[in-house]
Amino acid sequence: MNVCTGFIPLSLIKTNEGNIMNVNPLNLENKVALVTGAATGIGASCVEYLARMGAKVMATDIQTELGQQSVDGLREQGLDVAFHTLDVCSENDWDKSVKATLAQFGGLDILVNNAGIYIGGTLLENSLEQVRHVHKVNVESIFLGMKSAAEVMKPGGAAGKGGSIINLSSIAGLIGVPGHSAYGSTKGAVRLYTKHAAVEFGKLGYGIRVNSVHPGVIRTDMGAQAFQDFVDIGLAKTTAEAEELIIGMTPIGKLGEVEDIAQMIVFLASDAAGFITGAEFSVDGGMGAQ
């Protein structure tokens, strides 16, 4: 059979002698990625996992010192990574970061739109200023990231080979959660922005896949904020009680780890996901299935 692009089951990839070839569809060699919010947490884990699978990775964050330290540590391990300061709400910063990626690595095949902020509190407690701020960071960054990446990924662009855009949403973008209305509304917007972009880019022949990932509560600083929010709105007396309450809401019976999300990102970035676009992937221990 002729092997073209995308994922081909290993059982179907055989040599003339009938032996299965040594093919890894998750191999990201010769691919270039840009990851936002990469100084800590999920973003930092994504940078490491993508690089360990062979990608060249531009880590970006507004936290320059932390981001550079993280990248320096990975470079000491022989990984091909670099850092560039990026305020994801700045169109000018996006232009500079994409140009820096092209200059450093010669292309752009993968964008991980990970950067975001969390604002808790009940709907009645939230101020208009808070709601506007969380929407600005969490939604405008997705727009600017997709636009900046698509300009160079599409045919005729500076990279011009198509690619994969992965937008980080949240389980709060799929289901209702107490104390998460402002944050959840932004993540719901990310979900639908993803689907519209996926259909548009596909129909226009850009060769760009766009998918969203919806983490449950992950053991990060943002996850800790969710515990405190449960305390603040009166659903738990302590953060430890809040953590147990959230674990109790998760069928798999534990919190997620940053590696759980990074491994999903690797899959969606790879040719193994070559026929997947406009889809949403919950990595939430089953919380959203109830």
Average pLDDT of the residues of the chain: 93
Q: What's the rounded mean pLDDT across residues 197-220?
A: 97
Q: What's the rounded mean pLDDT across residues 2-23?
A: 47
- Give the model's pLDDT for residue 11: 45
- Give the model's pLDDT for residue 19: 53
pLDDT band at 7 (very low <50, low <70, confident <90, very high): very low
pLDDT band at 206 (very low <50, low <70, confident <90, very high): very high
List the domains of the chain with CATH numbers.
23-216+256-283 (3.40.50.720)
- Give the model's pLDDT for residue 22: 59
> What strand order describes the sheet that includes 208-215?
81-85, 56-61, 32-35, 110-113, 163-168, 208-215, 280-283
**Cα 237 to Cα 101: distance, rounded to the nearest angstrom:** 47
pLDDT over 90 percentage in the chain: 90
Q: Where are the alpha helices (DSSP H) in 204-257?
A: 221-232, 239-248
Of 49, 118, 183, 193, which one is the catalytic site residue? Answer: 183
Per-residue pLDDT at 12 exceeds 80: no
- Give the model's pLDDT for residue 24: 83
**What's the sign of the alpha-carbon dihedral 189, 259, 221, 109?**
negative
With CA atoms as reference, report the closest residue to 144 among 103, 201, 98.
98
**What's the sign of the alpha-carbon dihedral 68, 74, 78, 79?**
negative
Q: What's the rounded mean pLDDT across residues 73-80?
A: 97
Neighbour tally for 237: CB within 10 Å: 10
Altogether, the residues listed in the chain come to a count of 290
Is residue 183 part of the annotated active site? The answer reads yes
Per-residue pLDDT at 80 exceeds 50: yes
5-8 CB contacts, 8 Å cutoff, 24+ apart: 5/271, 5/274, 6/271, 6/274, 6/275, 7/271, 7/272, 7/273, 7/274, 7/275
Q: Which residues contact 282 (CB under 8 A, 6 or more apart)?
A: 171, 174, 214, 216, 288, 289
Per-residue pLDDT at 214 exceeds 50: yes
Q: Which residues contact 125 (CB under 8 A, 6 or more apart)?
A: 233
Per-residue pLDDT at 132 exceeds 90: yes
